Structure 1
Amino acid sequence: MQEEPYGEVFLIDKPYQWTSFDVVKKVRNALKIKKVGHAGTLDPLATGLLIVCAGKKTKSIDSYMAQEKEYTGTFILGKTSESFDLEKEVTDVSDPSDITFDLVKSAVAQLTGDILQIPPMHSAIKVDGKRVYESARKGIEVKMEARPVTVSEFEITSFENPEVQFRIVCSKGTYIRSLARDLGEILGVGAYMSALRRTRIGDFSLNEASQLTDLIEKIKARQDENL
């Protein structure tokens, strides 16, 4: 009897400062197969749920990527950076001490629902066949078009000026760093994202995810048993 082609889905809590491809490469090397990919990039400075598909399950990547995402994290008011996170140097914009919780809630309301969003220059989007972050790193300005996205929930879980803690539920293609930029622009003081964690993709929860080191050990142990 012929065996079914191998296919598996891994839920991983992506480590801080790892790229999504770093995680894929680690899983690929452990599995010793070529067909491994992830369903939705997380920036190196973000952590949280990363879906990695192997074998025949790579055919499901697009369907996982299309599902809504949930994030938690922190915005800092009064400062910004070229990348709208900690990847680039943070600089002062304006004193945010007069910003109240009501002003933040009002700004958040403007960024909730079906909105048009301009992706950050330091992103993996392709324009004219090139990743825009590659152009950004060379100091080349690329015109970014606004794209429709849906922010179905934008909850402020805590506000201690200048720190804004949030929970966001959004559609595929939404950049949380761009929401930081837009929040800072609406409030007139600038803002950047200092922390981000993806907690859900569709029905998949971060609570179900494995630490990468634990997962690799399990894969290797399983392969040793099959030798």
Structure 2
Amino acid sequence: MSDYKQSCIILDKPSGISSNQALSKVKKKISQKKAGFSGTLDPLASGLLIIFFNKATKLCSYFLNADKSYEAIAILGKTSTTGDLDGDILSSNNIPDLKKLDISMLEKKYTGIIKQTPPMYSAIKHKGVRLYKYAREGINIDLPPREIEIFSIKINIIDNSQLFIKVRCSKGTYIRTLVEQIGIDIGCGALVSKLVRTGINDINISKSVGLENFLSSSDEEICKKYIINGDLLLSKTSTCFVSDLNKEQILKGNKVKIKSEPCELIRIYDKDKNFLGIGKINEELELLPKKILV
């Protein structure tokens, strides 16, 4: 495992640093040059950040497009330039009596497919430039709203000025924007004071290692406790094994006939149980390699 060819780390990024800063610290600790992660977390946000090394970086897009779970604390009565406490406060408003708030109505409104306009302080690119770079220059880009999906949302009142919000959602969902939308509906505005990404697909934050814990561990501890092979992140995905002849074709990117049911995503192994990558089995029972990791 020490060559990190197909390796990953399930990291719990702390609040206060960017995803790229966390990535740089991890790369430096284990002396790796090629690495990527599964979706940017804002500096204020903490939680799951899966880091992929070398060949495993080919899996980044799969997890970038995966469903995510979050827990957030919203402060009511305030809005900011960034939608969270990291920005400049734009307004302070009176908060209505939350005892009269119809929580179930809000939850119903924000369940299913909804539209969101991406915030200016985000990593989305416009004409090749990140939106947050425009925002820092005081330039506002008029972006069209995008459809995202909220699979589940639970809102609880913490006190007379704060809400706890738990969300499972599709890729491209901005929790800061969701909180702002909820604040508008309540009639006082809102911003995020705390945000934790708790899940990516079926990977839970309970499986993660904190950044400081990781950085203070020995190389032996890291390899034994925290480094995992990329295929283990897909433990609930179907599996197939290929012969040496088919392996040769798969490694060339060629499709092969296989005795298995059609499947949109499948893990591919050789007869010695070495992970080769992921693929798809079509209706003609052909195995089509998508991402080869060897």
Give your verdict on TM over 0.5. yes
| Whole-Å separation in 1 of the counterparts to 2:222 and 2:187 | 56
**What letter matches 2:202 in structure 1?**
D
CA displacement at 1:4 relative to structure 2: 8.2
For 1:64, the equivalent position in structure 2 comes to 63
Identical counterparts, % of pairs: 34
**What letter matches 1:153 in structure 2?**
S
Paired residues of 2:157 and 2:163 also in contact (CA < 8 A) = yes
Paired residues of 1:108 and 1:183 also in contact (CA < 8 A) = no
Paired residues of 1:24 and 1:52 also in contact (CA < 8 A) = yes
**What letter matches 2:110 in structure 1?**
L
Q: What TM-score, normalized by structure 1, do the two folds share?
A: 0.90
CA displacement at 1:102 relative to structure 2: 3.5
For 2:32, the equivalent position in structure 1 comes to 33
**What letter matches 1:126 in structure 2?**
K
| Whole-Å separation in 1 of the counterparts to 2:146 and 2:47 | 25
CA displacement at 1:21 relative to structure 2: 0.5
Paired residues of 2:96 and 2:186 also in contact (CA < 8 A) = no
SS of 2:139's partner is coil
Paired residues of 1:74 and 1:193 also in contact (CA < 8 A) = yes
Paired residues of 1:103 and 1:187 also in contact (CA < 8 A) = no
| Whole-Å separation in 2 of the counterparts to 1:218 and 1:192 | 36
For 1:128, the equivalent position in structure 2 comes to 127
| Superimposed CA distance per residue, residues 159-182 of structure 1 (whole angstroms, 9 cap, x where no aligned partner) | 422100111000111000000111
For 1:165, the equivalent position in structure 2 comes to 164
CA displacement at 1:5 relative to structure 2: 7.2
Q: What is the correspondence of 1:1-227 to structure 2 with a 5 Å cutoff?
A: 6-100=5-99, 102-218=101-217, 220-221=219-220
| Superimposed CA distance per residue, residues 105-146 of structure 1 (whole angstroms, 9 cap, x where no aligned partner) | 323322221011111111111111111110001101111211
Paired residues of 1:104 and 1:187 also in contact (CA < 8 A) = no
Paired residues of 1:19 and 1:43 also in contact (CA < 8 A) = yes
Paired residues of 1:31 and 1:219 also in contact (CA < 8 A) = no
| Whole-Å separation in 2 of the counterparts to 1:105 and 1:80 | 23
Q: 1:123 to 1:4 in 2, by over 3 A?
A: closer
| Whole-Å separation in 1 of the counterparts to 2:221 and 2:182 | 48
**RMSD over aligned Cα atoms:** 2.1
CA displacement at 1:30 relative to structure 2: 1.8
| Whole-Å separation in 2 of the counterparts to 1:38 and 1:53 | 6
Unmatched segments (≥5 aa) in structure 2: 224-294
SS of 1:154's partner is strand
Unmatched segments (≥5 aa) in structure 1: none
- Tell me which structure has the larger Cα radius of gyration: 2
Paired residues of 1:121 and 1:144 also in contact (CA < 8 A) = no
| Whole-Å separation in 2 of the counterparts to 1:160 and 1:5 | 47
Larger RCO: 1 or 2 (CA < 8 Å, sep 6+): 1
**What letter matches 2:214 in structure 1?**
L
Paired residues of 2:4 and 2:53 also in contact (CA < 8 A) = no
SS of 1:84's partner is coil
Q: What TM-score, normalized by structure 2, do the two folds share?
A: 0.71
CA displacement at 1:64 relative to structure 2: 1.1
**What letter matches 1:200 in structure 2?**
G
CA displacement at 1:213 relative to structure 2: 2.3
